Every structure is written in C-alpha cells, then in structure tokens.
Structure 1
Amino acid sequence: MVSRPRLPEDRMLVEQLRLQLGNIGSSVIPTILLALLLVWVLSNEDNALAIRAWAGLTILMKLYLAWDAQRLLATEISPEHARRLLRRKMVINVIDGALWGSLAWAALGSTSVAGSVLVVAVLAGVAGSSMSSLAPIFPVFVAFGAAELVVLGARLWTLDDPAYNGLAVAAVLYTAALLGQARNGSRAARRAIGLRFENLELIERLRVETEHAQAAHRAAEEANLAKSKFLAAASHDLRQPIHAQGLFLEVLARTKLSADQYDALANARATWQASAEMLDTLLDFSRIEAGVVEPQMQVFALQPLLNKIENELAPQADAKGIVYRSRETHAAVRSDPALVALILRNLVSNAIRYTEEGGVLVACRTRGNKMVLEVWDTGIGIEPDQHDAIFREFHQLGNAERDRRKGLGLGLAIAQGLARALGQTLSLSSVPGRGSVFRLTLPMERAGLAEEEGARKAPGAARGFDLHVLVIDDDESVRTGMQQLLSAWGCTCDAADAIEEAQTLARARPPDLVISDYRLRELRTGAEAIAALRAEFGAGLPALLITGDTAPQRLREARATGVPLLHKPVLPSQLHRAMTAVLSGRELDSSFAPLDRRRA
C-alpha cells in the first residue's frame, strides 16, 4: 500500500487550533444562562457571595475566551507561533477548568442534598461538553479536565463523608473515560484535517494538470495552424514556378524538335507531372481541412470504376511481381464517383506500396442495403497500436528516411477525410506480417442507373480560340508562359501584374476573357480585379481565377467569390477545357481542382 503524505505537524497544529477556536463562540450564551441559573437555585445566606463571585468570574472568563478566539481567527496563525499559542491555550484552560471546579467549594456543604446533586451533575456535564469542544487538541482538554477534577476532588475529600469520597472516585473514573473519548476525537479531527488537505491538494493538482493539458492543447492547435500556414506558403511558392514550367513545356512541345529532344522533353514533362501530383496531394488535403469538398451525389456502376483503377495501377503491381485482381460486380451505388475513385486509388496505391509478395485484391460485398468496397493485401500488416496513427497526415510506416518514392504520407488521411465528406466510414483490419484490409461502406442503389457523365476530353491542338484574353498575375514567368500558350491557341493577349494596370489595358482593348491569379500584390486579390473589370465592362464578362494557395481560409475565400477556380500547376488541357466551358456559358464547378482533375 502506498502511504499518503502526512501534513507537517506545525501545519496540522494550526488547523487544530483554528478548529478548536471555532467551537468557543457557541458556548457563550449557554454558559451565561447556566451560571445565572445556579446563582438563583443554589444561593442562600451562607453561600450567596461565593456563588455570585464564582458566577461573575466564570462569565468573564467565557467572554474573554470568546473574544480571544475571535481575535485569533481574524488573524493568520503561523506554524512558527502555533506551539506558543498551544501553551497559552493550555494555561488558560487550566484556569477555566479550576474555575469550574471551584463551584464545588462555593456550593457543596452549604446547600441541600438536591443542590449538591445539581452541582455534581453540572460539573460532569461541563466536563463532557468541554471534551467535545476541546477534543481537536487533546492536551488542551487534558489541562481543562485535570484542573476541574483536582479542584472538585479536593473539595469532595475535605467534606469527610464516605458518600462524597465515593463520588470523588467516580469523578476520577468519569474523567478517565472522557480522556479516552477525547483522544479518539482528537485522532478523528486530525484525520479529517489531513483528508481535507489531501482533497485540496488533489483539487490543486487537478487544476494545474488541467491548465497544463489546456496549454498543451493550445500549443498543439497553434503548431497545427503553423504547420498548415507553412504548407500553404511552401505550396504556393512551389506552385508558381512549376505552373510556369508546365506552360513553357507545352509551348515547347508545339515546336519542331529532334528525336533526342522529344525524349528529353518527355522526361521533363514526366518529372513535371510527378511534382504536380505531389502538390495536388497537398491541395487535396488542404481542401478537406478547409471543408470545401462538396460531394456530387449520383448513381453509378462500380465495375467501370474498378476497371479504371485496375488499368491505372495494375502495371505498378506487375512491376513489383505481385498479383492485382478485382472481382467483377454488377452493383451500383449512390455517391460521388470522383471521390470514391480517389479514395480507392489511394487505398490500392498504399496496398501495392507495402506488399512485396502475394498480391492485392479489390472486391465488393453486400451487407444489407450497403455495399462494402474492400482492398485486401498480403503486405507487412499494421500493428494494432498504429491503426489510428496511420490515418494522421504525414505518418508513414517503414519510411523513416522519407523516401519521396513512397509518397508524402497523406494518402490515408485524404481517404479518411473524403470518406467523412461522403458521410461514410473507412475501416481497417490488419494482422502484422500477414496483410491488411481497408473497407469503405457505400449506400447501395438497386434502382436503374443514371446515365454516366461522358468523359471530358481535352481538345486537340488544332482547335483554337479567336478572342482577346487579359492575364493578371504578379509573377513574370507565369505571365510570359500564359502569353505564349494562349498565343499558340490563337488568342491575342495582354498581361498585367496589378489591378490598375489591368484596368488601363482593358480600357484600351476590352477583353473577351479575364484570367487572373487569386493572390496579387499589396494583399489584393484576383476577385477584386475581376469585380472591378466587370463593373466597367459588364457583369457577364467571362473570367477564371487561378491560385497556388492551399491555405484552408484562402480556399474558402476564393470559393466564396463564385468565379471558377483552377489550382496551380494547371494542366494546359484543363485550362483549355475551363476556357471553353466559361466562354460557352456552361457552369464550371467553382472548386475545379485536382479532385476533379482525376475525373478525366
């Protein structure tokens, strides 16, 4: 058993003194009334003066004790002075006990038998009452009880009567019994005081721990916010040059090149594509955090989606020498096919990455009115204590060296976030060393299928535009790349780096389309630029916003403008498709982004 820490003795004594002092006030009025009653009942010609003197001294002593207790309670009793105060209390209670015992000298032998019985009964009652009020400090009660007993016993002995002598012996025995009870009462008081301080200590410790937990929670929130801000800033700064690079590569691809140059261009475009996909992954995660992913629910068949994922990822499994299988299904579900495809792609990619032998199986199982998509693998498995951790952002198993070929550690975090956006659950079962299975539950649709949305194809290089475009971007390389690409598509183009310059160029040559970066100089935005231009040239002026921001707050702000939004780095085919949609008056999802890019 672990022993509880004991309260320091001097501190314990202070609390005992305060407890005992607090008991005095309640006995003042009963003492005054009792003294006056005894004067009235016991007084006669022989003892009137002695009894009245006794009553006056007793009342004065009780008033002094009450005043002294109130004075001491109003001050802070320091542990250093507690011992001295204890000795003082013992002296005062010796006087008080002797004063009560002197009642026997004033009344016994000069009053009737009934009066003598009353005196002894009063003194016995006073001793019992003092035991309860003085018990918190046992030595103080001993001082009071011993003084009263000695004075009373001396008077009984001097009366030289066998009955009084027997009464003296009984008083000794009664006092001894009271001492035993007083000792028990003192121990109980000490335990109560110790327990009270333990509770206070526990409360204080709980308060401190709560403050520490709250501080740690605030620090974690601040760290998470700082992480999000850093990722957003880093992503934005990286997207600018990568976006410009993609534009220049597209322009370069339209020039005459040798075979070796075409090979080098293909490698450069593949590298650009890999960088863009990593940034898209960060954007997907930021969009989920921002809460701007809005599922577009529809009924669709699962098999075409499974075929598409298999066509994309089976070559990766073949390259590792493992088997990739997906079971045929005729099931249809109601959900967002693009989001379900992204979840499944992340789960399958993860399974292939962590499987070295055996294979990966994608299957569907019916459970009531639900369809469960399952991704099985025979990989390394996941320890039970890691089941929650693997869904945290940037958490990877077996990649302490942060090999970029193993991704960023966001796939499962994105998959779980998208599952929540769909209102569904993503669960995991795993056996370390034998493999894992991830399950996504979707509502099954037994009715007829809605017509599937036709695949959106990028226009051929021969198809161009006959229009004037105003580009607004504060990055010179992006402006140059956009001008060259739009010129290759048959557009004439003006480029500005600020709102005022854009207005000047537009007045000289009104644009048919405005393409603006969202974040401009001096904390201004492309939304402001488009609003200013529409105020001059009409609310129907077609416009597109392009942003490299991934901060959740920025994403929400950009989305709230209602202007179609593209995310850097923008694929040229995606830009062409967006321009076509805006110019033809077709609605374009205002959060057009990598999540949607994967629909194509």
Structure 2
Amino acid sequence: MSIEDRFQIERLTLVLRHLRHAFGMSVMVASLMVAVFYFASGSVVSAVSALSGERIGIRTSAVSTTALLVWFFALLAVSGAQSWGARRALKKGFGAADVAPIRRQLVLSRCLEGTLWGALIWIGIDQHTSPGATALLMGLLASSNADSVAKYSNILGLYTGIMLPMTVLAVARFITIDDLYYQMMAGFSVLFVIAQYMQARTLGASINEAIRLRFENLDLVERLKTETREASAAREAAEQADEDKSRFLAAASHDLRQPVQALNLLLETLSWSEMDERQRRTLDSARAASASSSEMLNTLLDFSRLEAGVIEPQPRPFSLQRLLHKLEMELAPLADEKGLLYRTRDTEATVVSDPALLELILRNLVANAIRYTDRGGVLVACRRRGAGYLIEVYDTGIGIAPDQHRAIFREFHQLGNPERDRRKGLGLGLATAERLTTAMNHSLTLRSAPGRGSVFRLRVAGAERQATSSIRASAAPSSLPNLGQRRVLVIDDDETIRHAMRMLLTGWGCECRTAASLEEALDQDAAAPELILCDYRLRDGHNGAEAIASLRGRFGADIPALLVTGDTAPSRLREASASGIPLLHKPVAALALHQALMATLDGTSERG
C-alpha cells in the first residue's frame, strides 16, 4: 500500500475515533438547551423602564415545546447515526477505496447537524428572548466551533460541513431581528467563524503533515530494514561463496598436488637412467611441464598461507643487490624466450625486510611484467627516497587502464586472458604481492596507461650499508650426496607417492619402508626409523602430527620428522604450522627434499 493511501486511511481513522464518542456529548448539550429554553419560555425578567426609571417586569417570548422536542430528537438521530457509523467503520475496517464514500457520508451528516444547530437559533431566539438563554446558546455554539477545530480540522470538509450552515442560519436570524445588539452579534459571529476557519486550516495542515511524515518515516525504516536484510543476505552469500571457493581450492589443490608430487619424484628418479639425446629432450620437456604445474600450485599455496595467517615476516637488514641478481639469473631466461631485454640496475642499498617474502613479491612483479610484455623489455631498479628505498619494476607492456588499477590486485583477476591460458598464470601474483606488502608494512603503488607500459613501486625501509661478499651464481650440484643407509619411514595414503618416494630415497642410499596409515606403520615389526617423513592428512581423520607423536611414543625416542602436505586450506595450514614439526609443501622438488632430509638428520632443521 502506498504512503498516500495509508495517509488517507489514517486521517479518516483519527476523525472516526472522535465521532464514535460524540453522541454522549450531543445528548448532554441538547438536553441542556431544551431545558433552558423550556423554562425560560414565557418567563418574566426584571428591567428598568426607559421612561420612568422604575424597575418593571418583562415577559419573554414563548418557545414551542413541540418544536423543541422535534429538534431534540432530530439532533440525537443525526448524532447517533454518526457515532454508530464511526464505530461500525472502525470495527469492520476499511481500505483506501472506502475513504472517499465514508467522507462524503460524514460531510453530509455534519451538514445536517450544523443545520439543526442553526435551526435552534430560529426556534428559540427573537428580540424578546431571555438574554441569559441567548448568551448560553451562543457560548455553547462557540465551544462547539472550537471543539470542531481541534477534532476535525485535519479533514477540513467536516469542519466546514457543520459550521457553515450553522453560521449562515445564525447570521440570517440575527439580521432579521430589529435590534442593533443582535445585528452586531451577526457581524461578530462572521468574524469569529472566519478566524476559527483560518485556525482550523493551520492546525489541520500541521496534523496532516505529522501523519504524512510518520508514514514516510515508517516507510523509510521499512526500506532500510529491507535493504539491511538484502545486504546481510548478500554478505552471507558472498561469505559463503568465499568459503566455498576456499574449500574448493583447498580440495582441488590437495588432489592435484598428489599426482604432481609423484610425477616430480618419478621424473627425478628417471633422470638417473642412461638415455639418448631424444629421450633426454623428452625428459627435459616433461620436467618443464611438471615445473610449470608446480609453480601454479605453489602460487595457490602462497595465497592460502596468507589467508591462513601462518606467514610471519621476520625483517632484517640485508643487501638488496644479491636478491636482484638472483631474480635476474632465474627470470632473465623467460624474457629471452620472448625476445625481451631484461636489465637490473646495480645498487648498494641495504634494506630492512624479510628477504624471502620480499623475493616473493618481486618475483611476482617481475614475472607479471614479463608475462604482459611482448616488445621492449623489463627494468628493475632501486633508488633512495628519504630514509627508505623505492624498488621499481618497469615494463613496456600492454599497460593497464585507470579503472583496472585496483581490480588487478583482486585474486584470479587477469587482463587480456579471457581464454584462461595457463601460461599466463592464475591471477594470484599481484594479489599475493599486495597482501605480503601489507603484512610487512611496505607500500606498493602503480602507474600505468594502456599501450604505454607500467611501473610498480615498492617502498621499503633502509638501513646502514653492510659489507657484502662477492656475488656468484651457484650452480646446481651435478649429484646429490648419499644419505648413507639411514632408516626412513614414509607414511602416505597415496600409493603412487609411496612408490615414487621409495624409489627416490633408495636411490639416495636410504633404507626406506612405507606405510599407508598410522595403524600400518605401528603394525610393522621393524627397528625404529631414524627419520619419519609423514603426510599431514591421513586416513580415518588422523593427521601427521598425531602419527609422529604416536610413533615417538611407541619407540620411546624423539625421532626426527618432517611433515609433507598437499593441503592449502587455511585451517589445515594453521594446524600443521602449530605442530612445531618442519613442514614441506607438495609438490616438493627433489633438491629441496634432499636438503630438508639432510638438515633434519643432522639436527639443523628449523621449525615451520
């Protein structure tokens, strides 16, 4: 229902509430007037003779008792009908379509009531009427006028319906009486009614405005409630979608990491075999494809670790040049493949940051620049700004429109990749970079225009210059050291990974045994392992931390251990990190796995 409809219903309801109680007052007032005119009819009042100055008696006019009784019952009938109709309408209820007919009926009945009150003046008043009766009648009519102003002014037709005929009849009667007093009373009556009418208009407008404002406020409150409910539902839907997205990514990432982990291990084992040039090229292509898959999965992992809050920056002063050189050694080949020029401007800056996290930020920025540049090149530079430094990554790529400058930092948002080409990444690099920047209290800004390239500027704190050793590219070892018959227990519920891990560890000289679950590991009749390599998610709701604790209790020794997980769910990452056992993330590169095994067996591994 519209505000206007509710407004019309409410103002009529207000009038009907007054009318339903009007009958009792009409009975009392009409009875009083009948009694006054009846007892004043033909009575003698004292006066002073204008000729002799003596007090004389004057008989007042006689009033027809029949006329008084007819008037009395007619007034009660009209007033009673009004009160009954008002009660009936309020009890039955009415809609917007009923307002106009009810108002017309009320105006008509008010006109009849006003006519009856005017008729009383013709019945009871002439120039010989008792002055007291005349004064009482006029006082009651004035009071009735004031009462109508207060109760019925919000529907002005009801006020004028009773006052207009009553005033017209009263003025007509006073004018016809050959007495200056009554003729002056006629004029004052007109002025009084005009003044009351103006007051009724003002009061009625205020009442109607208050009613309308009330419904507008109620409507506004209702709209706000509706919008709040819709916003709450949208927020809950968005939160649910975000949770669903996180669960899906975690499940998909875990399931994808299992075969990729096995593939990496098997390819590493295969690389030890004798093969011709064609087979070696095929193996290199397979390892490159596997590395690409691992890179995308690790990008998801970085983002999940940020969501989980398990990344704790550990800032320290370090020389930036070593990091920039490392990035150039790793990423320049990607630029060379696209025919781009990759340049790093040498710097002597010493910055305060977490080296590993800063490397991840810059790696994402530089890789992103190479990915979206087809001609020209990429420049990485650093310059002093106040007490800190600006690390800048320039490219001559496609550029970014101003309305996309914020959007590109949203997860999975990519420019110019509608086909979702996996070679262009997942759209998480810049989102990860921005979150890491915030976590380390750095600032990351962008300046770019379509077709004119981009420059990302990372502001970091500076420190006093430190002496640095000469920078040399460290070549990967041609072979990995033998682990010397160390007993390693591998627990993983994936058979392919168990097989690949057994082959790899055996090739490194380990004595390896495997188990699919904690129960299977406990049932094995074998000597205590020297190292436990356990997947975090196991069967029957167990986890790797629980399995390692159980095995340590079984053998009564604090056996060195490593956790391996393909989970990227934030809650799982927090649980695994809280266990205090070194954690590796699938897919684990063979070199990284070997280094972790060596460090753990030598007692030099770090927590995390």
The TM-score range, normalised by the shorter chain, is 0.7 to 0.9
Q: Distance in 2 between matches of 1:146 and 1:537?
A: 110
Contact 1:298 1:450 in 2 (8 A): no
2:378 alignment partner, SS class: strand
Q: Is 1:145 aligned with 2:140? A: no
Quote the offset at 1:311 in angstroms: 2.2
Aligned to 2:510: 491
Aligned to 2:54: none
Contact 1:578 1:588 in 2 (8 A): no
Aligned to 1:551: 569
Quote the offset at 1:75 in angstroms: 6.1
Aligned to 1:593: none
Q: Is 1:264 aligned with 2:282? A: yes
Q: Is 1:469 aligned with 2:488? A: yes
Quote the offset at 1:482 in angstroms: 0.9
Contact 2:322 2:471 in 1 (8 A): no
Aligned to 2:56: none
Quote the offset at 1:540 in angstroms: 0.9
- 1:129-187 deviation digits (Å, cap 9, x = unpaired): 41342122222112211242245335425543243234335434544565566456656
Quote the offset at 1:99 in angstroms: 5.9
Q: Distance in 2 between matches of 1:474 and 1:544?
A: 16
What's the RMSD between the two structures over aligned residues? 4.0
Aligned to 1:289: 307
Equivalent of 1:85, from 98, 102, 120? 102
Q: After the TM superposition, which of the residue ranges 167-176 and 207-216 deviates more from structure 2?
A: 167-176
Q: Distance in 2 between matches of 1:17 and 1:457?
A: 92
Quote the offset at 1:344 in angstroms: 0.8
Distance of aligned partners of 1:144 and 1:379 in 2 relative to their CA distance in 1, 3 Å threshold: same
Q: Distance in 1 between matches of 2:404 and 2:21?
A: 65
Aligned to 1:364: 382
Q: Is 1:14 aligned with 2:9? A: yes
Q: After the TM superposition, which of the residue ranges 454-463 and 360-369 deviates more from structure 2?
A: 454-463
- 1:233-283 deviation digits (Å, cap 9, x = unpaired): 111111111111111112222223333322322222222111111111111
Q: Is 1:305 aligned with 2:300? A: no
Equivalent of 1:339, from 347, 354, 357? 357
Quote the offset at 1:425 in angstroms: 1.9
Contact 1:473 1:517 in 2 (8 A): yes
Aligned to 2:185: 167
Aligned to 2:404: 386
Paired residue total: 584
Quote the offset at 1:116 in angstroms: 4.4
Distance of aligned partners of 1:170 and 1:396 in 2 relative to their CA distance in 1, 3 Å threshold: same
Q: Distance in 2 between matches of 1:519 and 1:478?
A: 14
Aligned to 1:376: 394
Q: Is 1:526 aligned with 2:544? A: yes
Q: Distance in 1 between matches of 2:543 and 2:173?
A: 105
Q: Is 1:405 aligned with 2:423? A: yes
Aligned to 2:238: 220
Q: Distance in 2 between matches of 1:287 and 1:214?
A: 28
Quote the offset at 1:485 in angstroms: 1.1
TM-score (norm 2): 0.84
Aligned-residue identity in percent: 47
- 1:513-537 deviation digits (Å, cap 9, x = unpaired): 1111111222322222112112212
Q: After the TM superposition, which of the residue ranges 468-477 and 315-324 deviates more from structure 2?
A: 315-324
Contact 1:299 1:449 in 2 (8 A): no
Contact 1:428 1:438 in 2 (8 A): yes
Quote the offset at 1:503 in angstroms: 0.4
Distance of aligned partners of 1:263 and 1:319 in 2 relative to their CA distance in 1, 3 Å threshold: closer
Equivalent of 2:454, from 432, 436, 446? 436
2:343 alignment partner, SS class: strand
Distance of aligned partners of 1:264 and 1:219 in 2 relative to their CA distance in 1, 3 Å threshold: same
Quote the offset at 1:558 in angstroms: 1.6
Q: After the TM superposition, which of the residue ranges 27-36 and 388-397 deviates more from structure 2?
A: 27-36
Contact 1:138 1:186 in 2 (8 A): yes
Quote the offset at 1:74 in angstroms: 6.5
- 1:5-48 deviation digits (Å, cap 9, x = unpaired): 97566x54322212324566999999999999999999975499
Q: Distance in 1 between matches of 2:37 and 2:465?
A: 107
Larger radius of gyration: 2
| Matched letter for residue 480 of structure 2 | A
Contact 1:377 1:435 in 2 (8 A): yes
Q: Distance in 2 between matches of 1:405 and 1:47?
A: 118
Q: Is 1:583 aligned with 2:601? A: yes
Distance of aligned partners of 1:342 and 1:447 in 2 relative to their CA distance in 1, 3 Å threshold: same
Quote the offset at 1:339 in angstroms: 0.8
1:85 alignment partner, SS class: helix
Provide structure 2 residue ranges, at least 5 long, that are not aligned to the other structure. 44-62
Q: Distance in 1 between matches of 2:12 and 2:268?
A: 91
- 1:178-222 deviation digits (Å, cap 9, x = unpaired): 556645665665555444434433333333233222222222222
Q: After the TM superposition, which of the residue ranges 172-181 and 391-400 deviates more from structure 2?
A: 172-181
Q: Is 1:504 aligned with 2:499? A: no
Q: Distance in 2 between matches of 1:139 and 1:12?
A: 17
Q: Is 1:252 aligned with 2:282? A: no
Q: Distance in 1 between matches of 2:357 and 2:434?
A: 11
Aligned to 1:595: none
| Matched letter for residue 410 of structure 2 | R
- 1:500-559 deviation digits (Å, cap 9, x = unpaired): 111011x43322211111112223222221121122123511111111111112211221
Matches within 5 A, 1:113-124: 116=134, 119-120=137-138, 122-124=140-142
Contact 1:459 1:576 in 2 (8 A): no
Quote the offset at 1:391 in angstroms: 0.5
1:546 alignment partner, SS class: strand
Q: Distance in 1 between matches of 2:82 and 2:10?
A: 18
Distance of aligned partners of 1:73 and 1:300 in 2 relative to their CA distance in 1, 3 Å threshold: farther
1:508 alignment partner, SS class: coil
Contact 1:242 1:272 in 2 (8 A): yes
TM-score (norm 1): 0.85
Q: Distance in 2 between matches of 1:453 and 1:196?
A: 78
Q: Distance in 2 between matches of 1:453 and 1:82?
A: 93
1:432 alignment partner, SS class: coil
Q: Is 1:133 aligned with 2:151? A: yes
Q: Distance in 2 between matches of 1:453 and 1:65?
A: 105
Contact 1:15 1:193 in 2 (8 A): yes
Equivalent of 2:250, from 223, 227, 232? 232
Distance of aligned partners of 1:209 and 1:372 in 2 relative to their CA distance in 1, 3 Å threshold: same
| Matched letter for residue 404 of structure 1 | R
2:144 alignment partner, SS class: helix
1:575 alignment partner, SS class: helix
Contact 1:42 1:111 in 2 (8 A): no
| Matched letter for residue 250 of structure 1 | E
- 1:334-362 deviation digits (Å, cap 9, x = unpaired): 11011111111111121222223333222
Contact 1:14 1:82 in 2 (8 A): yes
